Chain A
Amino acid sequence: MAAAPEPGEPEERKASCTSLHLSYWKSVKLLGFLDVENTPCARHSILYGSLGSAVAGFGHFLFTSRIRRSCDVGVGGFILVTLGCWFHCRYNYAKQRIQERIAREEIKKKILYEGTHLDPERKHNGSSSN
């Protein structure tokens, strides 16, 4: 059971169904289904896509003064930049996950084999001293 808070200390925020419900509904979902906050790389891609869209659309308008065509270029730019950033970010994310998994397994092996004849560091030190 938690101790009573000291004077001046903020009260502990108790988890409740209401607070969980509210925190769920606070997540930003584009078009009602793309959870930008909890999907890795989504926020990054959408932000860069929006920036690319604005730059491409506005740049086209500055050169041509055609409003509708500039909007088309802006939308096309948004789609292409978002897709490009998405694939680039997801590729790096996948590489990172693989590295994390390798590191996790190596740490487990190190804990298991440390000090035994299977310890790779001992084998390596033994061969270098010979």
Chain B
Amino acid sequence: MAHAAQVGLQDATSPIMEELIIFHDHALMIIFLICFLVLYALFLTLTTKLTNTSISDAQEMETVWTILPAIILVLIALPSLRILYMTDEVNDPSFTIKSIGHQWYWTYEYTDYGGLIFNSYMLPPLFLEPGDLRLLDVDNRVVLPVEAPVRMMITSQDVLHSWAVPTLGLKTDAIPGRLNQTTFTATRPGVYYGQCSEICGANHSFMPIVLELIPLKIFEMGPVFTL
């Protein structure tokens, strides 16, 4: 989860998120250099003694400031498109879970190996125990195996919602009447948090998502099916 006043990305828990962080660093370095150049140009503009205001011909400068941004855009677009297509790859998922958004909770369906369906409500502040996270913890977590490709089918029963878990690099809209799919492979066990990411009413901020990722051996023993 994010720590207080965190602005940057959370640590990656999936290969896609690792690639996204690498791309983010790459884009940020290019942005930094552009900002540095612009600040320098601003400094020159403010400190110049040249006052000629009727310059009408600057072919070389215009050529440079057309070609250079094109090169910069290509440098950013190529890795971006690579990751975009990578996120759409479906690597033969071993497990499918349906996630249905409601106002204002999530329903999860594990229908591959049985008919487990449960709701996931945010824990109200009065029900929090010491160590629980306010506005993030839920009554029933989504329990999933680590290092196994998982497919999430996401939809909504009423209005638009969005199922998001930043550390996995996931954000998929839950649209009524439509089934969206996202896949991921978690690389380390733990408890990971997300929040609804599409405005959906009064309690939009109070329908979090909590994933509990456990080793595959323990998952196969069936703890998730003992609810």
Chain A interface (Cβ within 8 Å of chain B)? 17, 20-21, 24, 30-31, 33-35, 38-42, 45, 68, 75, 78-79, 82-83, 86, 90, 94
Chain A residue nearest in CB terms to B8: A35
The contact of B37 among A45, A79, A94, by CB within 8 Å, is: A79
- The interface stretch among B27-35, B86-94, B97-105 is B27-35
Judge whether A33 and B6 touch: CB under 8 Å.
Answer: no
Given contact pairs A31-B32, A40-B25, A42-B25, a sample of 7 additional A-B residue pairs in the complex whose CB atoms are under 8 Å apart: A24-B4, A33-B28, A35-B8, A45-B29, A75-B36, A75-B40, A83-B29
- Chain B residues, Cβ within 8 Å of A79: 33, 36-37
**In this complex, what residue of B is CB-closest to A94?**
B22
Known: A34-B28, A39-B28, A75-B40. A83 touches B33 (CB 8 A): yes
Verify B32–A34 contact, CB threshold 8 A. Answer: yes
8 A-B pairs with C-beta separation under 8 A: A24-B5, A34-B28, A39-B25, A39-B29, A41-B25, A79-B36, A79-B37, A94-B22
Q: Given the complex of chains A and B, what is the CA–CA distance between A41 and B44 in angstroms?
A: 30
| CA distance in complex: A22, B153 (Å) | 41
Whether A75 pairs with B37 at a CB distance below 8 angstroms is: yes
Please report B residues at the A interface, Cβ cutoff 8 Å.
Answer: 3-6, 8, 22, 25-26, 28-29, 31-33, 35-37, 40, 44
Chain B at the A interface: mostly helix, strand, loop or mixed? Answer: helix
Chain B residues near A17 (CB-CB < 8 A)? 4
Distance (Å) between the CB of A89 and the closest chain B CB?
10
Q: Kindly identify which residue among A20, A31, A35 contacts B3, using a CB–CB cutoff of 8 Å.
A: A20
Asked whether B29 lies within 8 Å of A78 as measured between CB atoms, the reply is no
**Would B5 and A31 count as touching, CB distance under 8 A?**
no
CA gap between A79 and B32 in the complex, in Å: 10
Determine the distance from Cα of A35 to Cα of B28 in the docked complex, in whole angstroms. 9
Residues of A within 8 Å of B26, CB to CB, are 90
Residue from B4, B5, B36 having most chain A Cβ neighbours under 10 A? B36
Give bound CA distance, A82 to B26, whole Å.
12
Asked if residues B32 and A33 are in contact (CB atoms below 8 Å), the reply is yes
Distance, CA A90 to CA B21, complexed state (A): 13
The complex places the Cα of A79 from the Cα of B37 at a distance, in Å, of: 8
Pairwise interchain contact A24-B25, C-beta atoms closer than 8 A: no
Are A31 and B40 interface neighbours, CB within 8 A?
no
